[in-house]
Amino acid sequence: MDDKILGQFLEKLERIAAAVESLARDGAPQAPNYVKPLGDYRQFDWSSIAASVVQQDADGPTHVEWGGYLWNRRSPANKFDPAIWYSRAQGRDEQGNVAYLRLITFKPLKDSDPVPDKTVQAAARQPAAPAGPTGETQLTLDQAPAAAAAPVASIAIPDDATAFVDRARYLKEAKQTHNLSPEAAERIATIFGVRTGQADHAPALAYLPFFGQAKRLGLDFAAARAILEESIMDLDRALEVLARQHTPPAAGAPR
């Protein structure tokens, strides 16, 4: 094989590799929105999420690469709890506001509510499922997990929230559970960089409870989005702001 043919062959291999990488990137979530404890920030293994450090300073990485994009470190000084996250701009929405995608957030762990005695006692009475040869729990057909329950007001994005959510399921959840129109649901999705019907709608799905509650309280999209951004996209914190600042007092309560 002469040098010319070898060169053409290598060029084609490079083009194939680039095409495969592009397809893999297009099929992946645009922003996984991982959540990790703030204490993990200093020693975080970026390779565990397939990211690499591009530049850093005395406080840690300032820029990381993931999915072919650069993500910048953010940590504003404001009245909210301390947090560090990595994000990038993703164009503008219909109102001209810059839409951001978030790669990962490091924030303090919150205390969990204690498990009620009634629940502890009920759990103790339930027989454990038999373990398989590898130690993994084996589920029989009648023990198979039920369909995911509708999100509730205290929902938070789990660390392993990687299941793909298609557009049909997302719009159905928005309408049936949160009384949000398809148009409103689509606008919410753009906040998280979801701009095509084939994209993963999981990042936007987790925030539907917040926008549903905001609608019930009479807030428009812009006001709800402002609260979410001021809460640095922390769902629990945004819901607390809604409850504290926008929930009308109960009848007979002092004003």
**pLDDT range class, residue 67, cuts 50, 70, 90:** confident
Q: How many CB atoms lie within 10 A of CB 112?
A: 6
| Cα 56 to chain centroid, rounded | 25
Mean pLDDT, the chain, whole residue set: 76
- Nearest CA to 207 among 234, 244, 179, 247? 234
- Cβ pair 108, 81 in contact under 8 A: yes
Of 2-11, 53-62, 165-174, 185-194, the poorest mean pLDDT is in 2-11
Q: Where are the domains of the chain?
A: 34-112+154-246
With tokens 């995608």, the residue in question is 101
Of 31-40, 95-104, 135-144, 209-218, the poorest mean pLDDT is in 135-144
- Nearest CA to 88 among 67, 116, 119, 57? 67
* Between residues 90 and 2, the one the model is more confident about: 90
Rounded average pLDDT over 165-179: 89
* Between residues 146 and 100, the one the model is more confident about: 100
- Nearest CA to 67 among 113, 125, 112, 28? 28
In this predicted structure, what is the pLDDT of residue 20? 59
* Between residues 24 and 151, the one the model is more confident about: 24
